[in-house]
Structure 1
Amino acid sequence: MSHQQHLTAHEFRNNPKIRAQIIEHLETLISPLVNVSTGHNAFYNVGYFNRGIIRTVCADASVGGCASGVSAGSDAIVPPSDEWFRVRLATMKTDEVQNMFKESVMECLLNLKQLYKLPKDGIVVAIDMHLIPRYDRIRGEELARSKYKNGTKYFERYVTLQCVNDDIRLNLVCLQVPALESVPNTVRTIIQECLSYGITIKLCLLDREFFSAETILNLNKLNIPYLMPCRNTQGVVEKQRLFVAVLIKDTIHDHTITGRTATATYNMIITERKNLDPKKDAELPEEKYIGIATNLNWIDPTVYSVRWGIESGYAMLESMRAKTRSRKVGARLFCFLYSLMMFNNWMMIKILMLSMTKYISRHKSTITQLAFKQMLRSITDDSGPGPPI
């Protein structure tokens, strides 16, 4: 860890303003979800649940697995049991968990506007699909089927929309996608929800798995500029071969794609792949070149590389996701959305540090994932009765 990163971790431990802000933020959001006794003789409140979840995500454990390490305070006889945590988690409802995440995003945006000026021309966002492996199947539950991976072919699907500006990385919207739900419709819904926050989208970056006529049609109707790699369909491969033969230019306007329920047009930019294996010779045009779909007349395709920043966030999200064996949809959704909230808090702490300390340069990474987890552990190690603060 660099000298500057040591400074930020030390400042966090000794800065009550930041510590109080994070704890208040999390507990305010979680309180309506956690079914705990509010009587005068109740041992445990939402503070203990929050502390237990934080310890769980820091230890990459299952919910309740770190309960024994949660201090119950001087007024309590014993710390909360593992079963106490699991019961609290099982009572959560899906719509309430979604509202929790929305309120968290709105608070982050409010703080962001106070600390940092958002670009007037809008932000760059990326939409991505997350697959969470499932090893149990419940009758009537709609799990998506995909390639066999990690010992299963059944997965929960989550679609996220994240701001990927150079200096702002925040998860803004997340939707769970059942197996029978239309992915293009989910893309439309997730963009509409992002726009409802009063955010202007300058450019939307999508992965190849979203490439379809229905998705392109929805993006065009919403007037959202986008970049998205094309799948190697017969029409796309044909254009790539014509480009190699110097029969067409690198930009093809009004290329048509036909889907199951819609037909759409887009502009295709042909560019050389950047991740070619130097040990292998790319013989076919589709192996050396890639087509990128857009509704702009022209754009530098290298702009798409800013989306790759979310790939590095996957490790963070997975390590901060509380594991659970619960079959309750609300419980599993809470565990995933809580990891997104933690990621957002990680990003907001960086911005807070920039506004509160003279040691940190805006262009340097100030807090690593390890340092952030150490900060969270320092919260759970606090002693004393009541909520951990």
Structure 2
Amino acid sequence: SRLPGTNLGIKFAVLSVVEESKTLTLKTKQVNPIESEVSVLGEMLDYAEEVLNPSLVLLDRGFYSVEAIGELKSRSMGFTMPAKKTNPVKKTCKKFKKGEAPPEIGYTVSGAKGEEDVRLLLTEKETENGTEIHPFITNLEITPEEASENYSWRWRIETNIRELEKFKPQTTSQSMELRRLYFLFSVTLYNLWIITRNGSEHPRAREFKEWLEFELLAFKVLEEYMAEPPPPHTPA
């Protein structure tokens, strides 16, 4: 979230749980600019293990690193994430597209702090610009098609993060505290909306906001009524 006209912004890490008919935000964390992704990941995974037993961890490309992969493997957690298109990955994708490489290969992610062995899975997707190759890395014994299907659940999280914007109050304030509060407020309202829907299509976000505004208005009227002094007692 960037402040208008400045180079300042707030970055959040979001932990979500995806079920068949709903996606809930379990935890958010404001990320310090000097904080490493592996420390953020570790904190999120600690919380996830406290409240549930995740069967699969889906991460975005921002966690593609030796340290993050090592953290996941040390917890014996199954994971899938898109591979960064480094030169070796690009070369493998080109070979696969030409039929010169298999869709599943053993691969080593290298970094300044060592190496981690993973499986590199390659999938094809037809687009307006032709055939695109989507590479994933995982520690699971799954097919490329299964990796792609599993990761489609991750897109639901992206969609729902955009839905959060519908509940976030608008502000031009440059106060980081206020903007953080507004983001957390939008997460709370979003979760309440998802729980209210309980897997159904309604209420839509707009309908829920209108209902919420009506309830708040009714509460305000009731509060003002209760605050009025009682009428004077007239002796019989």
TM-score (norm 1): 0.53
| Cα deviation 1:221-267 (Å, max 9, x = unaligned) | 122211111111011112212323433321112x1111232321211
Letter in 2 for 1:219: L
Match status 1:376 vs 2:228: no
Q: Mean Cα displacement is larger for which, 292-301 or 258-267? A: 258-267
Letter in 2 for 1:384: L
Counterpart residue number, 2:121: 269
Q: CA RMSD in A?
A: 2.3
Q: CA deviation at 1:201?
A: 0.5
Within the candidate set 160, 166, 190, 2:14 is matched to 160
Counterpart residue number, 1:63: none
Identity of aligned residues (%): 24
Within the candidate set 232, 245, 252, 2:85 is matched to 232
Unaligned runs of 5+ in 2: 227-236
Letter in 1 for 2:167: M
Q: CA deviation at 1:345?
A: 0.4
Equivalences for 1:37-116 in 2 at 5 Å? Answer: none
Equivalences for 1:127-146 in 2 at 5 Å? Answer: 132-135=1-4
Task: Check conservation: 1:251, 1:298, Cα contact below 8 A.
Answer: no
Equivalences for 1:187-266 in 2 at 5 Å? Answer: 187-197=41-51, 199-253=52-106, 255-266=107-118
Q: CA deviation at 1:169?
A: 1.3
Within the candidate set 174, 178, 181, 2:28 is matched to 174
Counterpart residue number, 2:229: none
Q: Is the partner of 2:69 in helix, strand or coil?
A: helix
Within the candidate set 184, 192, 197, 1:345 is matched to 192
Task: Check conservation: 1:183, 1:210, Cα contact below 8 A.
Answer: yes
Within the candidate set 204, 223, 236, 1:385 is matched to 223
Task: Check conservation: 2:166, 2:205, Cα contact below 8 A.
Answer: no
**How many residues are aligned here?**
221
Letter in 2 for 1:200: N
In structure 2, how many angstroms separate the alpha carbons of the residues matched to 1:347 and 1:387?
Answer: 32
In structure 2, how many angstroms separate the alpha carbons of the residues matched to 1:316 and 1:281?
Answer: 30
In structure 1, how many angstroms separate the alpha carbons of the residues matched to 2:225 and 2:87?
Answer: 60
Q: Is the partner of 1:375 in helix, strand or coil?
A: helix
Q: CA deviation at 1:172?
A: 0.5
| Cα deviation 1:112-171 (Å, max 9, x = unaligned) | xxxxxxxxxxxxxxxxxxxx1124xxxxxxxxxxxxxxx554321000011122223110
- Which structure ranks higher in relative contact order (CA pairs < 8 Å, sequence separation ≥ 6)? 1
Q: CA deviation at 1:326?
A: 5.2
Q: CA deviation at 1:338?
A: 1.1
TM-score (norm 2): 0.84
Unaligned runs of 5+ in 1: 1-131, 136-150, 283-287, 352-361
Equivalences for 1:24-39 in 2 at 5 Å? Answer: none
Counterpart residue number, 1:293: 137
Letter in 2 for 1:315: R
Q: 1:323 to 1:293 in 2, by over 3 A?
A: same
In structure 1, how many angstroms separate the alpha carbons of the residues matched to 2:27 and 2:37?
Answer: 15
